[in-house]
Structure 1
Amino acid sequence: MATEGVTFSDAKAPEGMRIYAIGDIHGRFDLLSQMHERIVAEIERDSPADWRIIYLGDYVDRGPESNQVLEFLSTETAADPRVIALAGNHDAGMLSFLNRPRRDGLFALYGGDTTAQSYGVELRLAPKDKLLASAAELEKAVPEKHIEFLRNLPVSASFGDLFFCHAGVRPGIPLEEQKRDDLLWIRNEFHDHFGLYPKLIVHGHTPRLAPEIRLNRVNLDTGAVKFGVLSCMRFEDTRKDLIQVSGS
């Protein structure tokens, strides 16, 4: 790999390893199920020497089945370390709300009501006593298994010439020194940077109508809720292939 950085076309997965990276799910368990089944079928058919399935974060909020998504991913990641789930800002937001309920936080304002509904809880934001009561009801309804899963999510993963995270990285900062908040939240500074990084950045966080492929990064968030499409990219050697599933 050249010292000045790696391009999309040159970025290479480790020898013998196939990697699947999947964009933001946001409670769309139907799309997650389709995608996972398709990937597993490919792995069983092709028997690659090694493989990884990497989910890029934002499992909860907005879509109708956050509960089912967390149950599925917490089970899969516990069963096989080759299935990796990274933290997204919405996943961190759910934990933050359960720890300290706020009516002006990410969870309350951007889709946490549907997450609560998936656990059979109506989220009430006002007055304060109802906010605290519904938060306590939600905390009781969410299995400890889901809480531990959210608490232990890593914020990045790296294999070969590929660096995976939820939102992106801050230009000019070594990948190993990136701050958690940037990996979960960054947008403009990252999107507006056209220079190469030491590795190809594979991320989600910002929904697009189609996967956004740039010289230095790949955005796989295609709006599972907003547009009804879940996207994945398969990396093997220098080859990159797109896989998509869709629903209403």
Structure 2
Amino acid sequence: MIAFYMISFFKNLFSPRKSDPVPIVDRLTYAIGDIHGRADLLTRMIDKIREDSYAYQEKPRVVLLGDYVDRGPASDKVIETILKLKNEIWCDLEVLMGNHEMSLINFLEDPESGSTWVQHGGGTTLMNYGVQAPPLRSDAEAWIEARDQFGNNLPRAHLEAICAMKLIIYGGDYVFVHAGVKPGVPLDDQDAMTLLWIRAEFLSATKACNYVVVHGHTPTPEPFNSTWRIGVDTGAYATGVLTCVRLHKETRQFIHVT
């Protein structure tokens, strides 16, 4: 009897473990990384996705992972492109909010946050909508005036689109967020600050949750691809490379435009 248990013990010890099941997405999905004012790259990516999706004979879901404004040259045109894409019938569009969209909203609510926003690229967005950022961080009156002018110049449709952006989207074994998730915390309990801003704690986790997390926010020279995390922010505004990942059943494929 002892010999039997010893044999069983060593058999279990040295036998290969069953691998985790391969994650599967619920439908053909394209998730696009941070755009940051590069309306030209977004247009090229949309055209490429549309052409690519024809081979699957399935209406694709297109997920935008946030950070459409700031840094790049044409934030207003990016938002306009998103509005037009919502009316297209060839795809189902899902639009996530990024931390830069939240900073825009914060500025409209609190003009004192404007100088911080500008330090992180918000000045180009202000200029896109015909507003010059005040030169002095401490000039509260000038920031109030800039906020009021920005609020007047920002088309209502653009503001409504930004305010309607989602924080999290699910698709089969995948979850889509802008920045990431806090490891060990149920997804229903994740707060907006985490989903929009988290970095180190999420990026260092082997498996942050029971879904494959698809995200942007943290730029890398090449897209990141592991079993439980996919990062598709390749710094489009600076590198001129916009990336998306195509998910179909068990497969993943990265697509780039320049």
> What is the TM-score normalised by the length of structure 2?
0.86
Match of 2:131 among 114, 121, 124: 121
Q: Is the 8 A contact 1:116 1:123 kept in 2?
A: yes
Counterpart AA for 1:231: T
Partner of 2:121: 111
The 3-state SS of whatever aligns with 2:217 is: coil
Is residue 2:201 matched to residue 1:214? Answer: no
Instruction: State the 1:228 CA deviation.
Output: 1.4
Residue pairs, 1:182-221, within 5 angstroms = 182-195=194-207, 197-221=209-233
% of aligned pairs identical?
A: 35
- Look up the equivalent residue of 2:143 and give its one-letter code: L
Report Cα offsets for 1:160-199 as digits up to 9, x if no partner. 1110000000000122322111110101110111136211
Matched, 1:37 2:44: no
Structure with larger Rg: 2
Question: Which residue number corresponds to residue 69 of structure 1?
Answer: 78
CA distance in 2, matches of 1:191, 1:125: 36
CA distance in 2, matches of 1:239, 1:19: 11
Greater RCO structure (CA 8 Å; 6+ sep)? 1
How many Å apart are 1:106 and its aligned residue?
4.4
From 102, 105, 112, the equivalent of 2:112 is 102
Once residues 122 and 244 of structure 2 are traced to their aligned partners in structure 1, the CA distance between those partners, rounded to angstroms, is: 25
Q: What is the match of residue 92 of structure 2? A: 82
- SS of 2:141 mapped into structure 1: helix
Q: Which residue of 2 aligns with 1:223?
A: 235
Match of 1:144 among 156, 172, 175: 156
Structure 1 residue 239: Cα displacement: 0.7
Distance 1:48 1:157 in 2: 23
Inter-partner Cα distance in structure 2 for 1:40 and 1:70:
19
| SS of corresponding position for 1:110 | helix
Task: Tell me how far 1:216 sits from its aligned partner.
Answer: 1.7
Residue from 30, 38, 62 that aligns with 1:20: 30
Map Cα deviations across residues 20-58 of structure 1 (whole Å, 9 max, x no partner): 000000000011010011111223x32533420000000
* Paired residue type of 2:217: H
What root-mean-square deviation, in Å, do the aligned CA atoms of Structure 1 and Structure 2 show? 1.9
Following superposition, the deviation at residue 74 of structure 1 comes to 2.5
User: CA 1:64/1:234 → structure 2, altered by over 3 Å: closer, same or farther?
Assistant: same
Structure 1 residue identity aligned to 2:205: H
Give the Cα separation in 1 of the matches to 2:57 and 2:213: 23
Deviation by residue 1:84-109 (Cα, 9 ceiling, x = unmatched):
11000001100110121125664222
The secondary structure found in structure 2 opposite 1:225 is helix
Unaligned runs of 5+ in 1: 1-5
Contact 1:23 1:55 in 2 (8 A): yes
Check if 1:161 corresponds to 2:170: no
Match of 1:180 among 180, 187, 192: 192
Q: Which amino acid aligns with 2:249?
A: D
Q: 1:216 to 1:47 in 2, by over 3 A?
A: closer
Is the alpha carbon distance of 1:150 and 1:106 closer, same or farther for their aligned partners in structure 2, counting shifts above 3 Å? Answer: farther
Structure 1 CA distance for aligned equivalents of residues 46 and 249 of structure 2: 21
Over 6 Å off, 4+ runs: none
Q: CA offset at residue 130 of structure 1?
A: 1.8
Deviations 1:105-141 (A, max 9, x none): 6422211110011112211153222222122111111
